[in-house]
Amino acid sequence: MDVKTAFLNGELQETIYMQLPEGCSNPGGGKTFVKLNKAIYGLKQASRAWNEKINNVLIEKGFVQIYKDTCIYFLKKDQIKLFLAIYVDDLILACNDKVLMKETKSFLSNTFKMTDLGDLKYCLGWEIDRNRKDKILYIKQTKYIEDMLKKFGMDDSKPVKTPMDVSVVLSNPNEKQETTHNYPYREAVGSLMYLALGTRPDIMTAVSYASRYQEKPQTQHVTAVKRIFRYLNETRNLGLKFSGSNSSDVVITGYSDSDYAGDVNDRKSTTGYIFKLGDATISWRTKKQPTVALSSTEAEYMASAEAAKEAMWLRGLLNELGYEQSQPTTIFEDNQSCVAIAKNPKKHDRTKHIDVKFHFVREKVASKEITLQYISTKDQLADMLTKAIPRPQFEILRNGSGVME
């Protein structure tokens, strides 16, 4: 559902006067200023006022606002559940009962001026394809990719099979080389980042590396960005697959990995993690670590701490939605020393320099909220979120992450 002129519904808490626009007369006299009773587009607080308005309406209706993500609301009646997600003036509803869905839509339409757009098929550049018979749902951004390729002149580019060239290592700009001024590098990276964060974890690493050189991009960096576009030209129809399950258990699993000293400029490592709900990928991240790791074990340990933070947020979110995580969340790690350190701090002389915040994972393992489990590197899905990988292994990990056509 879409709210018409949403910001005009907001109620102001401040006293604000507005100068009348040219051609508009004041019924109260010749004054050129009028006092605003409600928000109007252009005010700094208009979006906040609208959010407070719809929040109050939903709370009065009986909805519960989710603490872990305040843009999600939850309504439960016996075994009937309704979820409502808000993005500014766009509302997405999901319910297991058609009557409650109809009642909620009617309530919203009577409260605000709404447009009922029916089944969710397109939202914020995301395309949702549903196969109700086989209980399969795909989230893609094919049109967004096609528009992006045209915008940056890459729609006729030669396709490639991977987003990164394993033989190329990006480095800091060479002062002897001229910075590439005529290419919209920041804009291209920003457009790619929206795609990488939305539905394409397979390009996350490539975009992350490219984003590190936005200040003074040179030919090598532009070539790397263009390679991502060439890869998207080959795989524009790929998206995330969500399939149904016969199990009543709603359980998340994670994969945590790190390269070691992968950044040739400062020798810092890169963290990568991915989380799945059943067979569906729901969360992923690539990030350069804040400090230099002294060993691959330390780099992996720092990565597992970041994954543990995400796992705790996901556990809390699911618990609030009514899907209690009664068992520890498993995070797969391909470094056995890292697993050992998290379970037992016996190698104190080799780990005492590690920042306190990274021992968060050890605390959560001890409290049995998280468990680290060893997995072979060839089955480590997060491996593609830390570095360039040869095509055969890359495609295996991409399919394992649920990115498919």
Q: How many residues does the chain have?
A: 405
Tens-digit pLDDT profile for residues 183-205: 999 999 999 999 999 999 999 99
| Host domain of residue 185 | 140-234
d(CA 341, CA 359): 10
Which CATH number does the domain housing residue 384 bear? 3.30.420.10
Tens-digit pLDDT profile for residues 96-133: 999 999 999 999 999 999 999 999 999 988 999 998 88
Other beta carbons within 10 Å of 300: 28
Residues 100 and 167 in one domain: no
Tell me the Ramachandran region of residue 352: left when phi exceeds 0, alpha when psi lies from -120 to 50, beta otherwise: alpha
Residue of 151, 354, 382 whose CA lies nearest to 255: 382
- Name the domain boundary from 234, 263, 291: 234
Between strands 370-374 and 329-333, the pairing is parallel
Q: Which residue has the tokens 């400090």?
A: 291
H or E stretch covering 205: helix 204-211
One-letter amino acid of 177: Q
Residues 377 and 293 in one domain: yes
Tens-digit pLDDT profile for residues 202-227: 999 999 999 999 988 989 999 999 99
Residues 166 and 187 in one domain: yes
126 assigned to some structural domain: no
Residues 251 and 192 in one domain: no
Any long-range contacts for 85-94 (C-beta under 8 Å, 24+ apart)?
Answer: 86/51, 86/54, 87/123, 87/124, 88/6, 88/47, 88/50, 89/2, 89/3, 89/6, 89/7, 89/50, 90/1, 90/2, 90/3, 90/123, 90/124, 91/1, 91/2, 91/3, 92/120, 92/123, 93/1
pTM value > 0.75: yes
Q: Give how many domains the chain has, as a whole number.
A: 3
Contact 51, 58 (CB under 8 A): no
Please, is 156 exposed, middle or buried when counting C-beta atoms within 10 Å of its C-beta (0-12, 13-18, 19+)?
exposed
Over range 372-385, report the average pLDDT. Answer: 94
Residues 250 and 185 in one domain: no
Tens-digit pLDDT profile for residues 248-292: 778 999 999 999 998 888 999 999 999 999 889 999 999 999 999
107 assigned to some structural domain: yes
One-letter amino acid of 236: R
